Structure 1
Amino acid sequence: MSITLIWFRRDLRLEDNPALIHALEAGGRILPVYIHAPEEEGEWAPGAAARWWLHHSLQALGGELARRGAPLVIRRGPSRTALEALVRESGAQRVVWNRLYDPAVIRRDREIKAALREQGLEVKSFNAALLMEPWAVSNRSGQPYRVFTPFWKASRALGAERQSPGPSAPAHLPGLSGAPATESVEALDLLPHIPWDTGLAATWQPGEAGARQALARFAEKALEDYDRGRDRPGRTGTSRLSPHLHFGEIGPRQVMAVCTRARERAAGGVDRFLSELGWREFAHHLLFHFPQTPTRPLDRRFEDLPLADPREVPFEAWCHGRTGLPIVDAGMRELWHTGWMHNRVRMITASLLTKNLRAPWLEGARWFWDTLVDADLAANTLGWQWTAGCGADAAPYFRIFNPVLQGERFDAAGDYVRRWVPELAQLPDRHLHRPWEAPAAVLRAAGVDLDRDYPRPVVDLAESRRAALAAFEHIKARPKAD
């Protein structure tokens, strides 16, 4: 009897899962497997918030597989050793998986594929995570794109928006009658030992069912107004699908299909949101072609950018939302509590760290990596390098987000700041984003004692802007190498 081993990784779903589809079409029995080997991802092993998500997502997937007749087998790495053992124990003739695109994982998967094929196994991998493979899109010179707009135009011309999802999850799966031994999800020790995760549990529903609900909720309530609402952190104007997409609980083809059906009633919102899916594709395109960028700037001039003395950078105040700049502090507290931050606020907080405080962008990227439930190497790298001015299609270095003006523009009524910085909740709107300028009587009436209840700004915005631009002058004339 034919047996196919399906290696689940960050494709934790049963619907629109190409590896699962292939295994079922091959006939015979299937053996679903998850191998825990974070050490194989190098310095970008999942952070604390992502491990929390993974725990619950694996529980959800395991439950769905068991109900359908094919329980999930969990093993520890090394991945090649675990796969070879499972092939021997099960008698599998075939191993299939869906591709990942992080540089360390690409190297590992190539080695495993070659080794298993040498042993006489049929081994195939598939695309479940992207609309287009990173190598499928190139400019007229055959080179990778570095600017988003022409990249997305070329991707659309190649059919990125015409991708259709695969079939729904089957009601029954032909599992093995005697599956190999398995570890439990709990044994992987993914959850925090100190219970800091209550905010995550109150905010998210990891798993395929949660992903479908999030997409349906977004399509029904926010998609139509997405073009206007996506920049307002005080309202639910974004999809919040990023962690579900990262863990593969839903695929971009499924998202594309739902959005396309809504185009007639929500054309502006759909077009804008699809371009955000395109930005996700662009991030993976860049990571694949420039695998050095998680730790090195794409624009190599920035390796010589003069930075502030690390001893003078208030990094801890930035991490924990005590900078004295309300929208920055709101964002960092939202991140700590929920494992997520609104994208507009991600840019504001990153700009403050890399430009006003002149800290290394990689320090911020690592903090986000540990605290975001949607920590994705491609997206995290692109986002930080974009804001720092050193990546592809980057914001010009002289574009420095003023957190006061950004707060007054995008959180004018103060809903966002008042939620996450409650010590300022009683301040009137006109003083909410610059409490240090409020008259003493206004502060007293709002119950705010600066320095005791809320800090003054850790940096002078105007002076630090001038210092950042002066630092850029130091490298501006150098050639852009990569």
Structure 2
Amino acid sequence: MITEFTVPDETHSPILVWFRKDLRLDDNGALLSAVATGLPMVCVYVREPEHEAVGPLGAAQCWWLHHAIQALDKALQAHGNRLVFKTGKARDVLLALADETGAKAVYLNRLYERDEIDAEILKALHEDGLEVKRFKGQLLHDPHTMRTGSGGPYRVYTPFWKALEADGEPREPADAPETLPAPARFPSSEDLADWQLLPTRPNWAKEFETLWTPGETGALEKLEQFIERPIHSYKADRDFPGLTGSTSHLSAHLAFGEISPARIWHATRGLHSSDHVIHFRKELVWREFCHHLLAAFPKLRTDNWNDRFDAFPWTENDKAFEAWTKGMTGYPIVDAGMRELWRHGYMHNRVRMITASFLIKDLMIDWRRGEAWFRDTLVDADVASNAANWQWVAGSGADASPFFRVFNPILQGEKFDADGDYIKRFVPELSRLPKKYIHRPFEAPVEVLQKAGVTLGKTYPKPVVNHFEARDRALSAYAEVTGKSAQADPRD
């Protein structure tokens, strides 16, 4: 039902609180500042056209978004308010809402990755007579003000970490408000179901709910579970994908702002496992570093940070790319990772590096195709982290891994999934292979394969490339582009 809302007294004009990637009540600067005014609030989420936002939202994140804003709406209702759903250009939607409700101000939290987009929107709002206030809270630092001694942005992670550490402890997070003043009448709102964010035919996200609980409550529960046990062995366990519960699984909650980095940092204070806590904090700060890079180089998603790689001879091998996306490359650790990604909208971090290296260096396929696939299939896709991490593996990014570091998918599997537990979970057709061959089924004797029920080329694919030949091809291409010869580290 569409209702009209008029304000009889301008002194009680509501504030529009524009939610975006800050889907929480806890430690939410815009929300808390609006509450502090004592004025009623109209909370709104705007589904913007793709060309008006920072790129299209991936399919996996559409699933998450549906549940996340549904959870936010329930949380707001429990505090006496609700979420208004709108579709359209943010500028037009907010101006129309201001007319409908009599609002005189718009409060929002800053998203550095869309500063350029927001500048035009906020200018239009201001010119129309609205007070506009932006608040920090999505990062621990301001990427535009944190600078090196020479005045430029940081390009290397370690000095960045040290500079952030030297600044002292981040601010204390602010608790969620107890009540959220509501307007006398709410403006018109769309039905979330009409947005059709959930997959149906087929429902490829059917297993997501077994692993994820989108929303602020799910985020805080994940944090509590992580602090209770996994963080105390984090440094030792985080690289082993076969270990369940060895990482925080907070990345998607962070990507949607269901929990603030300050809240996570604060929760790790006073813990006795100092080495493990520091290692975890460094991962949190790596996210900060990625956003720092994006702020300094807004084209990070599409352009090589190091333009020397612009001449790199990528191949257009659609068949190999499809095999990679489906987890059918013939290399078990790679295939396990890609299948985990499809089934759960997530992939263990160590395996992300292995699969990315395989695409870029074994298959010689442009990192941008991998970045786009991850952006579409990851529930935790983050515009800065996704691009920066792909360029890190490709060797074209800031503080990047050298291109000649070519991960050997066989050795990586044997090192980090020695018993094959991860592979057995996601590549079950290999589960009966003995430990000696589960990472290299193409080397197993025929009788071993038969006993395990494996027929290469039928029940499980033969390798799409010979890793060692592919590695040499990639290194030759690197030498042609850079004029530098290199050898791969056999330990990788």
Give the alignment's TM-score, normalised by structure 1. Answer: 0.96
1:5-154 map, 5 Å: 5-41=16-52, 44-102=55-113, 105-154=114-163
Query: Which residue of structure 1 aligns with residue 330 of structure 2?
Result: 324
Alignment partners' CA distance in 2, 1:19 and 1:399:
44
Query: Which residue of structure 1 aligns with residue 173 of structure 2?
Result: 165
Query: Which residue of structure 2 aligns with residue 449 of structure 1?
Result: 455
**Any unmatched runs of 5+ in structure 1?**
none
Question: What per-residue deviation string (whole Å, max 9, x for no partner) do you get for residues 52-111 of structure 1?
Answer: 000000100001111211111111111100000111111111111001122xx3222111
Alignment partners' CA distance in 1, 2:481 and 2:52:
33
State the one-letter code of the partner of 1:88: D
* Seq. identity, %: 49
Would the aligned equivalents of 1:313 and 1:357 in 2 still touch at CA under 8 Å? no
Would the aligned equivalents of 1:38 and 1:46 in 2 still touch at CA under 8 Å? no
Query: Which residue of structure 1 aligns with residue 211 of structure 2?
Result: 203
**Cα 1:41/1:380, change in 2 over 3 Å:** farther
Q: Quick check: 1:353 aligned with 2:364?
A: no
Alignment partners' CA distance in 1, 2:170 and 2:25:
21
Which residue of 273, 290, 294 corresponds with 1:287?
Answer: 294
State the one-letter code of the partner of 1:304: A
Alignment partners' CA distance in 1, 2:222 and 2:49:
28
Would the aligned equivalents of 1:313 and 1:359 in 2 still touch at CA under 8 Å? no
Question: What per-residue deviation string (whole Å, max 9, x for no partner) do you get for residues 99-141 of structure 1?
Answer: 1122xx3222111211121222211111121000111211111
Number of paired residues? Answer: 471
**Any unmatched runs of 5+ in structure 2?**
1-11, 485-492
Would the aligned equivalents of 2:317 and 2:365 in 1 still touch at CA under 8 Å? no
Alignment partners' CA distance in 1, 2:317 and 2:365:
10
Question: What per-residue deviation string (whole Å, max 9, x for no partner) do you get for residues 223-258 of structure 1?
Answer: 000001110001121111000000000000000011
Would the aligned equivalents of 1:33 and 1:72 in 2 still touch at CA under 8 Å? yes
Alignment partners' CA distance in 1, 2:319 and 2:148:
41
Would the aligned equivalents of 1:224 and 1:270 in 2 still touch at CA under 8 Å? yes
Q: Quick check: 1:301 aligned with 2:308?
A: yes
Would the aligned equivalents of 2:53 and 2:117 in 1 still touch at CA under 8 Å? no
State the one-letter code of the partner of 1:306: P
Alignment partners' CA distance in 1, 2:54 and 2:409:
31
Q: Quick check: 1:270 aligned with 2:277?
A: yes
Deviation at 1:460, TM superposition (A): 0.5
Which residue of 210, 213, 228 corresponds with 2:221?
Answer: 213
Query: Which residue of structure 2 aligns with residue 4 of structure 1?
Result: 15
Q: Quick check: 1:187 aligned with 2:198?
A: no
Deviation at 1:162, TM superposition (A): 2.9
Q: Quick check: 1:230 aligned with 2:238?
A: yes
State the one-letter code of the partner of 2:65: L
Query: Which residue of structure 2 aligns with residue 245 of structure 1?
Result: 254
Which residue of 376, 395, 401 corresponds with 1:395?
Answer: 401
TM superposition outliers: structure 1 runs of 4+ over 4 Å: none
Alignment partners' CA distance in 2, 1:311 and 1:368:
18
Query: Which residue of structure 2 aligns with residue 439 of structure 1?
Result: 445
Deviation at 1:456, TM superposition (A): 1.1
Q: Quick check: 1:257 aligned with 2:271?
A: no
State the one-letter code of the partner of 1:369: R
Alignment partners' CA distance in 2, 1:38 and 1:248:
20
Deviation at 1:274, TM superposition (A): 0.2
Alignment partners' CA distance in 1, 2:364 and 2:35:
53
CA RMSD of aligned residues (A): 1.2
Alignment partners' CA distance in 2, 1:80 and 1:147:
37
Deviation at 1:260, TM superposition (A): 1.4
Deviation at 1:158, TM superposition (A): 2.0
Question: What per-residue deviation string (whole Å, max 9, x for no partner) do you get for residues 174-201 of structure 1?
Answer: 1112010101211111111321111112
Would the aligned equivalents of 2:49 and 2:89 in 1 still touch at CA under 8 Å? no
Would the aligned equivalents of 1:283 and 1:382 in 2 still touch at CA under 8 Å? yes
